Each structure stands twice: as C-alpha cells, then as structure tokens.
Structure 1
Amino acid sequence: MKVQGLILVAIFLYLSCIQVVKSQPRKDCQKRCGNVTIEYPFGISPGCYYAEDSSFKLTCNETETLSFGNIPVTNISYSGQLRVRLVRSKVCYDSQGNETEIKSRRITLKNLTLSEHNKFTVVGCNSYAFLEMFGVDKYSTGCISICDSLPSKNGSCSGEGCCQTPIPRGSSYVQVSPSSFDNHTTVHQFNPCTYAFLVENDKFDFQPLEDLKDLQNMTMFPVLLDWSIGNQTCKQVGNKSICGANSECFDSTRGIGYNCQCLKGFEGNPYLRDGCQDINECNNNRHNCTAPSTCENMLGGFQCNCPSGYRKDSPNSCTPKLRPEYFRWTQMFLGTTIGFLLIVLGVSCIQQRMKHRRDTELRQQFFQQNGGGMLIQRLSGAGPSNVDVKIFTEEGMKEATNGYDDSRILGQGGQGTVYKGILPDDSIVAIKKARLGDNSQVEQFINEVLVLSQINHRNVVKLLGCCLETEIPLLVYEFINSGTLFDHLHGSICDSSLTWEHRLRIAIEVAGTLAYLHSSASIPIIHRDVKTANILLDEKLTAKVADFGASRLIPMDQEQLTTMVQGTLGYLDPEYYNTGLLNEKSDVYSFGVVLMELLSGQKALSFERSQTSKHIVTYFANAMKENRLHEIIDSQVMNEYNQREIQEAAKIALVCTRVTGEERPKMKEVAAELEALRVKTTKHKWSDQYPEEIEHLLGGSILSAQGDTSSIGYDSIKNEKRLDIEAGR
C-alpha cells in the first residue's frame, strides 16, 4: 500500500506540474455579495472573472443582490451550473373577460444556457401558454391546464389547474406567452389570471387555493443555468485549460466547452491555481480503517496501517500474527534488506556527488563557452559603474518558460528566440535565447549585455540579468506587453487608434533615444538594426527600443568603424552596405524609413507588394515631387488640420534617407526638429479649438514663433530650398 501511495503521490505531482493556468483572479477580489459566495471564474470587477467571456461578469448592487445582467443569482456551482431567479409571465382578465394585464417575458442569457433540470409550468383554469427557445436548436412547446371549479388536491401539477412539461438543455433565448381559452369568465371568482414560468425541478408545490388566486404572491422562481469555459472540448484545448492543480478537465454536458473538477481525494475550486486541496480523511472521519489499524493521510487519499505484531488481512483491517517464528525470519530479512539498502545508498551518494561535480564543471564550461570571461573582462575594464545585472540559474529559466514551451514564444529573429517568462514572484519578463553558431555570435550576445548594462533610459528596454551556465545563453529583460510597432502598423494587432499625435510622439521618443545613444551615453552606441519590429510599445503606447544584439560601441576617439555589414534589408543604410563603414548616420537612415512607415501605416506593405524593385523611400520621394503625398499617407492619420505637419514630417524622413551620410542630419537634430513639429501640431490643435483664448493668452507670441523659425530649431525643415527630395536624396 505504501508503494501504491508513493505512485499516487508521483502521479499527482506530475499532474500538478503540467497544469497551465492561463488566468487567475486578483487576490483582493470581493468574495461575497449578500449571502451568496462569489466563485471564480465568476466575479464582479475586472481581473476577478474569466475575462475571455463577458458572461462570467456579475454585478452586486446597493442592496447586496448578486445579478447576471438583471437576473438575480442565488448560487454558483463548480460543476457548471448557476442558480438564478426568473420572473414569471401572466395575463389577467376582469369578470367580463376583458384583458386587464399582460406580461410576456423574453429572456436573453448570453453564453449561458438553460439546464434540462427545469420545467415549463402553467397555473390557471382553462389556460395555456407557449414557450419558444433558441440556442443549439430552435424549440417550441406548450402546456394546457383545464378546470371548471377549484381543484381540491394539493401538490399535483398534472393538468387540473396546473400543468408542467420538461424542456431540453441548450437554449440561451426564451420567450413565454400565456393565454386563456375563455378569458377566465367561468372561473374568474377564484382564478382571474393565467401564470406561466420556468422553475427548477421539484421547486414548485402547487396549492390550488392560493396559487389560482394570486400564485401565492410569488413573482420569481429558481431556475438552473448551465455554463462552461470556451467552446472547445478538453481534447481540443489540451494543457491550455484553466483547470488548476490537482484537478481534471471534463467536457461540458451542454455540448459546448469544458468544465473542471477536483481529483478524487481533493476538494475546492478547480478553476484556481491551487484551489483543489487535499482532504484529510483521517481527521474528517472519511476513512474505513477498523481498530487496531490506524489511518494515515496520503496526498489524494489515505491508507490503513497495522501496529507491531499485526498483519493486514484486508486493505482496512489487521489481525494478530499467530506464529512467533515469523519474527525471526522477518528480522533476518530486514537485516539483509537494510544492509543491501545501505550499500545501494552509499553507491548512490557517490554517484550523486560525481554527477554534481560533472554538472558544476559543465556549467563552468558553458560559462566560458558563452563568453562569461569576456563579459567579466569588458565590464571590469569599463570603469566605475552602477550596473546591477542579476545572474539567473538554468533551473530558474526552465521553470519561468515552462520548459521553453512553444506557447511561450513571443517572437523569433536573426539574433534568437524570445520567450515570455514568469518568475517565482509572479513578475513577467522576456527571456531571449540567443541563436549561436560561432565565436562572432557569442561576441554579439556579450555585446548586447554590455550595451544594455550601460544604458539607463526610459525608452530603452531594461536588462534585468542573464544566464550563462546553459548551453544556449539567455538574456532576461523587462516584459513590454503591447507588442511591437510593426504589429500595430502592419501586423496581427493593427490598431487604427494610432493617431497622428501617437505616431509623432513615438517618432520623437525613438529619435530621442537614438540621439542619447549617439551623443549622451558613456560610450557612443550605434544600434545598427533600427526597425519597427525592434520598437516595443507598452500599455501607454510608450516606445521602447529593443534588440541590441547587432549594436556596436564607438570609441570616443573615432567617428566610425569598419565592420561586417549587419542589419535588415529595407532599413539598411546603402552607404554602410556598400562600404562597411559604420557611423551614427547609419541609424539616421534606418530611422527615416521607420518614420515613413509611421506615416504610411498599412500602405507601406502595399508598396512592397506592388513592385518589389521599388522601396518605400522611392515612393515618398516621387510622391513629394508630384504633390500626391496624400496617396501614401495612412487614411487614419491625415485630416484637414494636420496636412502641413505631416508633409513636414515626410520631409524630415527624406532628409534622413539621403544616400550620402554626410548629407543626413545628426540624430539629435532630427529629435529637435520633430519635437518642434509636435509643439507646432499642439499649437494648431489648440488654435483650432480655442482661437480667441489662444490669441488672448499668447498675444503676438504665435506670430513671432512662426516668423523666426530658427528660435525653435526648425529652420532646416521650413526652408524648402535646402531639401533635395529626389529619389535617393
């Protein structure tokens, strides 16, 4: 039994390890509303319910009433049922048969559906009602109740004054329509109305005297609704279900989605990460061990143990050992077994120590192979620094990425693969697994650590640490949760909410970051791979420049380096491509292409699809010469108020993409001109909205700012004669 218990423990631990809990409620969520306990995946505030389905959002009003929409909720079941209260329908008549009141009900349940454990009920003499249901199938039914006098039999709902009919599961829209054969003219004295409603099985007891008069003054009845997670089966969703540890997935009985349940021997909420807890059968008298055996709690169960001098004759009972000679044989057997186990234990300890030594040596080998010595040497030679780079372990990286699971991959590129990682403190990070094949790539990896360790800028992705003791080295940096600029402009999350103001601000942030790298960092840094896919956006759409694997440090006494050409075609500086001479003007060219993409948005891809021999720079130059810039600007950006500012931004982009690096401005000049353009854009926006107030507050300052462009660093853009907008210039 102990062996079986250990096997069960191993199985449960394995099941716990493979759980992938995608979403969990906040710890501060409200747990009760009135006398109803609120159970996840249901909740009443953002972050407290299963966010992928709005049907799990409930409300708790001032009277402490929990509701689903406008439907009161009285109980939530883990097994996939929600108990609510639904209003009954009725139609009433006066003694002459004239209709005095009618209330037909239409009920919409979103993604929830009616359970089969409900009945459609009609109360009234000479009455009938129809029930129409829509969901998995369109379904209609009805019920007829007949009587000429007041029935005398209580509790029976078999057609005399009351009738019931079962309904199928799966409907999410219900319409109830009551009526009467003779408008209650013959029974009006004791039954003026027909009532029709849905009610949970065995929750309505028909009392003719009270119910036919006013339905015991009841307006709402308990009804069971079915719910499930998503629209995939357990087999389809695999290990990506939201079922927590020590739980299992089962297909919903309503035929859509799945539900979760705790494994045998556990109880609690199976939708929480640690919601299913072990049941201590020994303390709760849930065991069947009989004296003199004693109960021992096990993970997911229990076992019955016999005291000394007893043996098991069944799984839960013990009997005395009758023959003492068995003790001698037992002692001999135990002595031999213990001696053998001690020998095995000693050999195992020696093997473990040898394995630990080999692992340590292998980690040291990987550390040197991955450039650890190079990193330490370069950091120690860089002078005093406040760099705090954390060293992560191999085991910690495996746990954070769920064993480098494919579902955790955020992106792949020429420099490696980036995974989403979750550290033990629940903080989310991005983990970059470098793609190395030779020593030059090892140097690029160490180069990225070195570059990022010297940068402290709000618009540069923050390096948190690295792991060098694995065969493939890893970088750990902050997680930016809103994707790349490329995704927003062209990709899967293409978002038309990127307004002109958003795009101009992003351009200013990227330009300012590159200017900082070129001019303000302790050692000038050339990024060498500026593109929209390497610009991340956070939840506030703040730009974060990333991927410094191709970056180079420029010594203070040099203005350029001769290097092997690296970068992305389409963004790559043609002068650098042809000569191999790298300087800060190479980043200026790439930024100019990024600025053109910001202006053209989704149209930038259509340029490349239409004629692959042409480049976006050529399109912009031709459009500017032919006065048709509006044709290549994103339709979500340009309007009648910002055409001039967009045209001036396009001119900046063309100046940045001139073929000859000497003719391009420095990055800090570009940043200053874009910032001045933002000031001008803001001024125009306020002038259009509040012209009189602006004139009153600023007086002649607007005119002076427009008349003296040199005062705001914008002269090179305002003076159009200095711009050569031919293709390639």
Structure 2
Amino acid sequence: MKTSQDWSLEEEKHIYRKRKREREKMKVQNLILVAVFFYLAHTQPVNGQLRKDCQTSCGRVTIEYPFGISQGCYYADDRSFKLTCNEKEKLLFGSNFEVINISHSGELRVMNNISYACYDSLGTFGPNLYYTYTLANLSLSHKNKFNVVGCNALALLSTFGRQNYSTGCVSTCNSPSTVNGDCNGAGCCKTDVSVPFDSYSFETSPSRLQNMTSVYDFSPCTYAFLAENGTFHFDGLGDLMNLRNVTEFPLVLDWSIGNQPCEQVGSRSICSMNNSICFDSTRGKGYNCKCLEGFEGNPYLSNEHGCQDINECTSTIHKHNCSDPSTCRNKVGGFDCKCQSGYRLDTTTMICKRKDFGWATILLGTTIGFLSILLLITCVQQRMKRRKTAELRQKFFQQNGGGMLVQRLSGPGTPNANVKIFTEEGMKTSTNGYDESRILGQGGQGTVYKGILPDNSIVAIKKARLGDNSQVEQFINEVLVLSQINHRNVVKLLGCCLETEVPLLVYEFINSGTLFDHLHGSLFGPSLTWEQRLRIAVEIAGTLAYLHSSASIPIIHRDVKTANILLDENLTAKVADFGASRLIPMDKEQLTTMVQGTIGYLDPEYYHTGLLNEKSDVYSFGVVVMELLTGQKALCFERPQQSKHLVNYIASAMKENRLHEVIDEKVINENNWREIEEAVRVAMECTRVTGEERPLMKEVAAKLEGLTVTKAKHQWSDQYPGEVTENLVGVGILSEQGDTSSTGYDSIKNVASMHVAAGR
C-alpha cells in the first residue's frame, strides 16, 4: 500500500517529465522559426534586388518585376503579381488570361476570350459559351470597349465586388442591306467601360432580343467581348456570319502597388530605390513608379535592371539634338551641347556659332543704361510724390486747426482731455478706402462710416462737411469739450483726423441703430414698451440738461431728433451727432447763427430770429417725446392738412378730447394712462412757441424722473392697496399744470400755423 509520501514522489516525477517534454517542443518550434526566417531571407527581394535565378521570360513575353513566377521574384505583398508559365510556354495571369505584355506604367495586356450564344434555323437556342473572369486585385482599364456583334442582339457586362455593376449594348438589324462596316448599332455596337475599380470578377452574357428566324441566314449568333480600344474593327457580314474564327482579343488590366497613394505611403514606397519617383495610380487606389527624365529601366528595381542613365549622345532611341554630334556631352539625367572657346550655342538651332561681341555688347549696355535711368526717374518721382503728399497732409492739418489742437492739449486747462489724433492712412485703411459698403448713414453734417482699427475695435468715423476756415477755432473747442464729456448717455468722441481736406471725427460704435429706426423702421423686433420709451425720454432729458447746465462750457446740440439718438444692445440712449452743436460762452445766453436743424424738430422762434439758446433744444426734445408717445413721425404729409406736423396732431387730439386715438396703442394699458397724459403735457410745454414759456431742460428731466417715481409708487400701491398714495409726485405736477392746457393749445396752434406757412 502506497503512503502519502510515495504519492507525492510520483507526482513530482510526473511534473518533471511534463516540463521536459514542453522544453523539447519549444526547441523544435524555435528551429522551425529560424528555418522559415532563413528561407524568407533568401527568397524575398531585398531593397529592390531580385534573386539571380528568377525567370525573366516565358515564350516571347518578358517578365518584368513586380510580376514574377517563383517565390521571391514577384512583389510578395500581393499575390496578384504571381504569374504562371505553362508547358506551352504561355505566360498566364490566374487561370483565365494569357499575358502578352507587362507595362511599368501600371498596365497588363492579356488575351480575352469571346462569349457567344447561337441559334438554329428554327430560332432555338443552340451552342453557347459564357465566360466569368477573375481579376484578383487588378481592375479593368478605361482603355477597353465592350463590343457586341449580331442582329437583334443584346449583351450585358456585369462586374462583381463591393459594388456590383452592369452595363449593356443593343445591336439591331433586319436584313444584310442594313449592315455596314461601322460599329454604330446596326449589326455591331460598342460602349465605354467605366466599372468600379474594386471589382474582383466580370462576366459577359450575350443573348437575343427575340428568336427571329429571319436573321438566321446572315447572323446565327450573338457575340460579346471586352477588347482594347482600336483592336477590333467590324467588317460587316463576315463578322456576323462567323466571328468565332477569331477567339480572343487583347484586353488591358490596370495594376498598382498597395492601396495607399504616394502622399500616404511616403518613403515606404518601392519607388524610392534609385532614380525613380512615385505617382498615384489612375485606377483609384495604390501607386506606380516611373523613371526620372533622362533615365530608363525598371523603376521598381534598384539593381542593374533599375532606372539607369540614358546616354543621349550614343542612344538611337533617346537622341540628343546637338547639330554637331561632337559637341554632345552626356551627364546624369540629360546632356549638354558644349561649344569650343570663342563659340556660343544657338538654342533655337542647337548650332555652335562664333561669338559676336560688338553689337551684342552695345545693345546689352544700352539696355542696362536705359533701365537704370528709368529706375532712377521712377524712384525720384515716387519720392517727390511722397513728399508732396506729406506736405498736403501737413497743410490740411494746419488748415483744420491741428497746431491749435496740439497746443491746447499740451497746455493747462485740459487735464482730462483724451483726444487721439489719427492719421489719414489709418482712417483710409480702417474704412477700406471709404468703401460705400461701410457707410452707416448720411446727413447734413456729413457721412458716417464703419471703421475697424488695427486692434480690431469697431468705431464710427464721421467725415464732416466743414469748409469755413472761420469755424476752425470753434471746431477745435468742440473737439476738446466733447472729449472731456464722460456721460453714459453721450456717444464718446475718441479722436479726430486733421490730415484730410475735411476733418474726420472718430466716435465709439453703437450697434443697435437709432431711436428713429426702432419707432418707424422694420429692421428690429418688437416695438418699444411704455417703460422703455419713458426711460429713453428720461435719459435724453438728463443728457441735454447736463449739456446745458453741468458741462464746463454749456453746449447747445441744435439738432435733437430721433435719428440722432442711438441705442446700444441694452436699449440705453446715446445722444450723437454734435456736428451742428454750438458752445455758449459764459458771458452770453444766446448766439446769433445761421439757422440750421431738421424740419419738424426746428424751434420756430429760432427759425424766425436766428437767435439760438438752450430753449431750442427743449422744443426739439418735446417733438421727440411726442414721437415716443404716438409712434408717429414728426412731419407726415399723409395726415390731414392741419395735422401734418406732430405738434398740431397732438394739439387737435387734446382739444377734441380724443388723445387716446393718437397715442400708440402698443404702449397703452389700464395702469399707465395718467403717466401718458402727464408726459403729453410735458411735451406740449416744451413745444410752446415762445422760448420764455418753455421750461428749462433740467426742469423737464425732473418732471419725467417724477413720472418714473410715480409709476413705481403706483405699482407699490397696487400691491398694498391700504396705503395712502395722495402724495405722489405726479399729482403735484398735475395740479400745478392743470390750467395750462388752453395756453398750450393756443401756442401750439400758432406753431403749427407757422410750420405750414413755412412750407414745412
């Protein structure tokens, strides 16, 4: 009986024997791998070098690498390049085709059999022969034609691969008289071959449209075959009777190396062996090789059969074109025609001619001298032109007050002025040469362009229409004052350009259009709400009050209108276009100027007297408020005769107690009518005929601010109805102005009459 110790000993012996067998098995496998490695090393081409014993011909056909017969003699990565030489000395591709020619450019010419289907005199289907051909990794060339011979014949060419494809050809005829020697559809037809390049086989299938016994005597069969274009010529009745006397025709197959184009395969291509280059295959995948110009041989090899230099001086095929053979000198990749000393080569005739130094030298010297003088004149003209341009820019700079502006900027009293002086070239570049597509708007004070500065910031560039030299100092003062204004509701002046005939002003760019666009245009979305309109009116009023009362030198805008009120992306109002503005010296309350402004907004008192003061802006602002309330234009000739001006239009509505008809219905709701009425009263106070009767701009701003406070308190009282609301600011305003409606109407009526009489 075995003890546990005996069992343990036997188990160890078993494990030892098992490990010994595994080690012996691994030794055998390693020997096999080494043998395979040595076999492959001696049978595969290395660096384009083939085995010395490779068969180079079969019958009368030369075998060219990458094609070959035995292992190591063809391109090993693709067995499509393996050929067979049979006992009849015929070189075969696969089992279907006899190879007749191998081309380095990627073509393999083979012989292709004819498919046919025959019928007896009764129209019964008789002998037939259909072929299905295997292409391996080659493809049909576009140089082939699909040919069909026979009367009332139909044949199909079908290919099989990732994508099956079929095409066909029909040939019809009823009698021998309709058949001629042209393959144009009568007894014979042909069509182009444009099949998918990845087809691995094809089939030709001949048949007849119907069993017509009437054509049996001269066309008993239908023939179908692929042939290289130009190798089959239809001869009429002879081919119809018995085309089988010829059993095959040449066919072109396309081949290439691998599946990647030259760019992807890079230095891994077999073309990089010696004096050869890679080019993409015409079959849609892979690549082929060709020798460099001046070389010939097999571009797929690097040995003595590869691309070798052509000696054009001795070659009978690649001959030189030197007129005298003794002057030909061969070089790698080409040749030269070397003339002896004292002679030159005429490249047209390739003849060595004696050098003529006389006239040639004179002509060359004259040409060089003329070109030098011309270059010198051009340089002088360019320099003079640049100097003239610089002088003209300096003239305009001084004419437009540039010196005065620089002096005041550097002097005391303008510590906060931040005016940048731009160059003419910079302005021209930023507006793309003042291109029309960059125009943002045009008005009486000039044209505004969209500009893009070198730092990609967008600005508005105004090309002013300032031609009076007497206004230069005032213009400079205006630039300095506006540059110091830092008000959130004033479009900021960034700088100016004085090197042009008329000055250019550079402003910040506001991207959401004008108040006029939002009220009367169609480019923007939903109309402004009452809250937005009231806020805009408050912002404009506050800005004008600041210009009239808080600026270092009072400023009268003189052209307040909805088209000069810009809105940013948050619909915040920005007062713009100070081109018509005037500065009021501290010792004067009004100025006498040429009347300037916009019809519909122009103060009638200023229009008649030419006396400009801050109340002129108050009148224009009143018209703007009326536009905000009604959504109507300041002057509209489509309204009745007495209501063409918006001031008259509002006045008539108040007199006839139909104010609700003229207010924009988009802003009216049950909670804001009292605010709207009060805003109308404020607007009518602003548009009184006499300037003394109009309120100051800061009073107008306070009243409109009061409306916003009233609105907030009304909203609070709606939430807490038990609270007392009699102390609203709006109530006080209403009681103070409760007896002014008739006066306002009379004065407004006078204003309206004046406008109509003035033709506005």
Residues 156 and 666 of structure 1: is their aligned pair in 2 closer, same or farther, counting only changes over 3 Å? closer
Q: Distance in 1 between matches of 2:279 and 2:499?
A: 51
In structure 2, the residue matched to 1:705 is: 727
In structure 2, the residue matched to 1:388 is: 418
Residues 633 and 331 of structure 1: is their aligned pair in 2 closer, same or farther, counting only changes over 3 Å? same
- Measured on the aligned residues, the alpha-carbon RMSD in Å equals 3.9
Amino acid across the alignment from 1:547:
D
- 1:478 equivalenced with 2:494 (yes/no): no
Q: Deviations over 1:577-634 (max 9, x none)?
A: 1222221111111100100011011465657643277421122122223221111111
Q: Distance in 2 between matches of 1:611 and 1:437?
A: 38
Q: Distance in 2 between matches of 1:340 and 1:289?
A: 47
Contact 1:419 1:431 in 2 (8 A): yes
Contact 1:603 1:633 in 2 (8 A): no
Q: Deviations over 1:427-464 (max 9, x none)?
A: 21111112244436766754652442232111111111
In structure 1, the residue matched to 2:384 is: 354
1:539 to 569, 584, 592: 569
In structure 1, the residue matched to 2:693 is: 663
Query: Percentage identity across aligned positions?
Result: 70
Contact 1:618 1:728 in 2 (8 A): no
Q: Distance in 1 between matches of 2:607 and 2:382?
A: 54
Q: Distance in 2 between matches of 1:447 and 1:685?
A: 46
Q: Distance in 1 between matches of 2:642 and 2:528?
A: 27
1:617 to 647, 653, 664: 647
In structure 2, the residue matched to 1:633 is: 663
- 1:728 equivalenced with 2:750 (yes/no): no
Q: Deviations over 1:302-351 (max 9, x none)?
A: xxxxxxxxxx99xxx98646336559869988776655554444443333
In structure 2, the residue matched to 1:401 is: 431
2:542 to 482, 505, 512: 512
- 1:435 equivalenced with 2:465 (yes/no): yes
Structure 2 counterpart SS, 1:544: strand
Q: Deviations over 1:473-517 (max 9, x none)?
A: 211111111111111111243654300011001101100000110
Q: Distance in 1 between matches of 2:441 and 2:567?
A: 15
Residues 608 and 519 of structure 1: is their aligned pair in 2 closer, same or farther, counting only changes over 3 Å? farther
Structure 2 counterpart SS, 1:618: helix
In structure 2, the residue matched to 1:715 is: 733
Contact 2:595 2:606 in 1 (8 A): yes
Structure 2 counterpart SS, 1:641: coil
2:338 to 315, 318, 322: 322
Contact 1:421 1:428 in 2 (8 A): yes
Contact 2:481 2:553 in 1 (8 A): no
Residues 155 and 410 of structure 1: is their aligned pair in 2 closer, same or farther, counting only changes over 3 Å? closer
5+ unaligned residues in a row in structure 2: which ranges?
1-159, 167-194, 200-277, 281-289, 295-320, 323-332, 346-354, 749-760
Structure 2 counterpart SS, 1:421: strand
Contact 1:401 1:419 in 2 (8 A): yes
- 1:565 equivalenced with 2:595 (yes/no): yes
Contact 1:463 1:476 in 2 (8 A): yes
1:157 Cα deviation from its structure 2 partner? 7.5
Q: Distance in 2 between matches of 1:353 and 1:498?
A: 58
Q: Aligned ranges for residues 569-584 of structure 1 at < 5 Å?
A: 569-584=599-614
In structure 2, the residue matched to 1:423 is: 453
Amino acid across the alignment from 1:715:
I
Q: Aligned ranges for residues 24-423 of structure 1 at < 5 Å?
A: 320=336, 322-323=338-339, 325-326=343-344, 341-376=371-406, 383-423=413-453
Q: Deviations over 1:196-252 (max 9, x none)?
A: xxxxx99999xxxxxxxxxxxxxxxxxxxxxxxxxxxxxxxxxxxxxxxxxxxxxxx
Contact 1:447 1:552 in 2 (8 A): no
Larger mean CA deviation between 619-628 and 655-664 belongs to: 619-628
Q: Deviations over 1:341-398 (max 9, x none)?
A: 5444444333333222211111111212333345446656782332121122222222
In structure 1, the residue matched to 2:620 is: 590
- 1:456 equivalenced with 2:486 (yes/no): yes
Q: Distance in 2 between matches of 1:725 and 1:395?
A: 54
Structure with the greater relative contact order (CA < 8 A, sep ≥ 6): 1 or 2? 1
Structure 1 counterpart SS, 2:708: helix
Amino acid across the alignment from 2:630:
S
TM-score for both structures, normalised by structure 1:
0.52
Q: Distance in 1 between matches of 2:463 and 2:291?
A: 54
TM-score for both structures, normalised by structure 2:
0.50
Q: Distance in 2 between matches of 1:603 and 1:367?
A: 41
In structure 2, the residue matched to 1:652 is: 682
Q: Aligned ranges for residues 486-505 of structure 1 at < 5 Å?
A: 486-493=516-523, 495-505=525-535
Residues 680 and 290 of structure 1: is their aligned pair in 2 closer, same or farther, counting only changes over 3 Å? farther
Q: Deviations over 1:47-69 (max 9, x none)?
A: xxxxxxxxxxxxxxxxxxxxxxx
Q: How many residues align?
A: 424
Q: Distance in 2 between matches of 1:676 and 1:319?
A: 100
Q: Distance in 2 between matches of 1:155 and 1:420?
A: 58
Q: Distance in 2 between matches of 1:285 and 1:444?
A: 75
Residues 154 and 326 of structure 1: is their aligned pair in 2 closer, same or farther, counting only changes over 3 Å? closer
